[in-house]
Amino acid sequence: MKSYKVFKVIFNSLKFKIFVFLLLSTFYFQLSTRNAFAQSVSLGIFPPVMEIDATSPAEVKSKFSLENPTEQSLDIIIQLKAFKASTSNNGQIEILDTFESFPDPLLINRIKIKDKGISIRSFTLSPKQKKEFDFEVNIPPNEAKGDYYFTVFFATNPKPDTISNSSLASAGVAMNVLLSVGPKGETKGFIDKFSSPLFIDSGPVPFTVQVENASDHFVPINGEIIIENLFGQKVGKVKLLSVNVLAGSQRLIPDETQIKVDSAEFKEIEKTITSSNYPVAIWPEKFLIGPYKANLSLTFGENGEKFSRSVSFFAFPATYLAVILIVLGIVVFIVLRVKNKIN
């Protein structure tokens, strides 16, 4: 009876009521607070480029895939943009605001991204999902011939529902499409630049190779540089990377080793690559002496029109020689001092 009275006093006390109120409030706020996640986002695409040769009429069909390596689903929106070659001539693109550069600007309406046969402009990628999509272009009879360069963006679509001052970052990847609607004109072009340092101390030797495509269509270019010594012996070969050169544009061409980033050959030329402000083709040979002649030969397009040019350079290992002379000097000095002391 006595304990009942004590409990009654406690229950009725103001302090107890306040304690209960605070306890319940804490639970309420804990349960109702929204989690604010600082999520990462990641997207992958393959292939990064599509090259299409077509003549009207054609129903071009191809495939590509996207991946979401993250743990959350991603809402993706699709956008198409025309582009032209960047003036840096390094294979990068410059996005255009309109499709006026297209021989037929309305062609853009006949490009479809399809998922299981249904044309889509947005979609959701589930966590860890890799998904294949159809890429289709309807080229009607009498379509305006010429090249159409466009890029397809796949970008996340963030929802601005945050409750603080903030920026939301959206991530996107792109696939470049080079569409050539024929019949194609004659493949025309030339070697715009082929140069190397006139004098070098030691290798690797950087070559600047720039070509210009004067055709009305993009052209794949293959080539190599053969290096000969004073006696006309072949002492080196640099295989050039096979690259596309857009119609009416120029492009600098690197060598093939530069895509093998994990190879020992790449490590040898890495410093030369990073020290150059633009793509160069690199002969990795280190010890060089005397005059050399480098012969560039290029094949333009599938018809195989060939171009060639030569450049000469002179190598003299001045650093090595200076070290040898200094060492020799020290040895001679020591020998003379010893001789003088003996005498």
Out of 53, 192, 228, 265, point to the residue binding other proteins (CB under 8 A). Answer: 53
Token pair 């200094």 is at which residue? Answer: 326
Question: Side chain identity at 142, as an amino acid letter?
Answer: N
Q: Could you tell me how far CA 249 lies from the centroid of its own chain? A: 19
Query: What's the min distance (Å) between Cβ of 238 and other proteins?
Result: 14
Asked if 80 and 96 touch (Cβ cutoff 8 Å), the reply is: no
Tell me if 75 contacts other proteins by CB under 8 A. Answer: no
Identity of the residue numbered 60: V
> Rule CB under 8 A: is residue 259 a binding residue for other proteins?
yes
Which residues are within 8 A (CB) of 99 and not within 5 positions of it... i.e. 6 or more apart?
82, 105, 107, 108, 150
Q: What is the nearest approach in angstroms of other proteins to the Cβ of residue 212? A: 16
Please report whether residue 62 would count as binding other proteins according to CB under 8 A: yes
Query: What is the smallest separation between the CB atom of 292 and other proteins, expressed in angstroms?
Result: 23
| Residue showing tokens 């966590």 | 127
Exactly one of 52, 107, 125, 221 binds other proteins (CB under 8 A); which one? 52
Smallest distance, other proteins to C-beta of residue 71, A: 13
Among 17, 61, 121, 234, binds other proteins (CB under 8 A): 61
* Contact residues for 255 (Cβ-Cβ < 8 A; gap 6+): 238, 239, 240, 241, 281, 282
Judged by CB under 8 A, does residue 273 bind other proteins? yes
Residues pairing with 189 in the sheet: 213
Q: How far apart are CA 6 and CA 107, in angstroms?
A: 87
Closest CB 334 distance from other proteins, rounded Å: 45
Q: Does 26 help bind other proteins (rule: CB under 8 A)?
A: no
278 binds other proteins (CB under 8 A): yes
Q: Is 227 in the site for other proteins (CB under 8 A)?
A: no
Question: What is the distance between the alpha carbons of residues 160 and 165, in angstroms, rounded to a whole number?
Answer: 11
- Identify the sign of the CA torsion 213, 79, 77, 37: positive
CB of 51 to other proteins, least distance (A): 4
Q: Which of 226, 201, 227 is nearest to 314 (CA)?
A: 201
**Contacting other proteins (CB under 8 A), which of 10, 16, 47, 321?**
47
Minimum distance from residue 310 beta carbon to other proteins (Å): 23
Residues 174, 150 contacting (CB under 8 angstroms): no
Q: How far apart are CA 206 and CA 284, in angstroms?
A: 9
201: helix, strand or coil: coil
When asked if residue 158 is in the footprint of other proteins (CB under 8 A), the reply is yes
Among 9, 18, 95, 325, interactor with other proteins by CB under 8 A: 95
| Residue number with CB closer to other proteins (95 or 336) | 95
Query: Which one, 62 or 308, has the nearer CB to other proteins?
Result: 62
Binding residues for other proteins, total number by CB under 8 A: 76
Kindly identify the residues of this chain, within the stretch 97-156, that bind other proteins according to CB under 8 A: 97, 139, 149, 151, 153, 155-156
- 211 has which bridge partners? 191, 251
**Of 64-72, 106-114, 199-207, 315-323: span binding other proteins (CB under 8 A):** 64-72
Closest approach, Cβ 101 to other proteins, in A, equals 15
What are the beta bridge partners of residue 193? 210
Interface with other proteins by CB under 8 A: which range of 10-18, 92-100, 101-109, 335-343? 92-100
**CB contact set of 224 (below 8 Å; sequence gap of 6+):** 237, 238, 239, 240, 296, 297
HSE (CB half, 13 Å, CA atoms) of 115? 11
- Nearer to other proteins by Cβ, of 93 and 120: the residue is 93
Q: Which 165-204 positions form the footprint of other proteins (CB under 8 A)?
A: 165-176, 178
